[in-house]
Amino acid sequence: MSPKQDSIPYAPLPQDAPLQNVVVILPSYYRYPPYYHCLRRCLLFIASFLLVAAVVFFLYPSDPNLKLARIHLNHVRFNTSPKLTLDLSFSVTIKVQNRDFFSLDYNSLLVSIGYRGRELGLVSSNGGHVSARGSSYVNAILDLDGLEVIHDVIYLIGDLSRGVIPFDTDTRVKGDLGVFFFKIPLQGKVSCEVDVNVNNQTIVRQDCHPE
């Protein structure tokens, strides 16, 4: 094929055609400083880290919080025959607080009572359910009959004479936290030193230490 057949016909401008100036305005582009992208990536990383930390903080399971809400000395009685023994009866109320955003099912709650470092007895209550971020109160009665107090009789007589008896309590609970379709085992324990007024059956001092 000849070059003439491939060429595009061109018509020259007329001699009397006015000349025109064409001005093309290009948009201006702002150049960010070199450290801008690095700073932006750092801010996005910090924001993502804080978001993940907040999710972990609110959703990570924590052990239930236990508190000895009430202890009542029902009766105390000495027996001298056939040997020196002591009968005690306590009524206790334990507050179980669920600090998580999921419900808590506990199997049992165990409460033990001691006097001057020696365990006197314990009682176990039935299981229960605590809603998310909720609390539940558990009542238990501990009857201790025929306790031998030969080693502590002098201290007990002195405490009864001043009207205040110091007791030690240990409360333990075991349960499962329901997270979606999973069950996460949890447990809690609190130890308390409690001074009970024998006359009005009230707590005059309570010092608890979660464990």
pLDDT-based confidence at residue 126 (cuts at 50, 70, 90): confident
Per residue in 58-115, pLDDT (tens digit) is 667 778 888 888 877 787 777 777 777 778 888 888 889 888 888 888 888 888 888 8
State if pTM tops 0.95: no
Smallest Cα–Cα separation from 94: which of 52, 124, 50, 133?
124
The full set of domain ranges for the chain reads: 31-60, 65-210
How far, in Å, are 85, 126, 164, 166, 190 from residue 210 at the CA level? 32, 22, 24, 19, 4
Question: Residue 201: what pLDDT?
Answer: 67
pLDDT at 133 over 70: yes
CATH topology of domain 65-210: Immunoglobulin-like (2.60.40)
Per residue in 162-173, pLDDT (tens digit) is 888 888 889 888
The conformation of residue 198, written as its DSSP 8-state character, comes to: T
Per residue in 15-63, pLDDT (tens digit) is 665 555 555 565 655 566 666 667 777 888 788 877 776 665 566 777 8
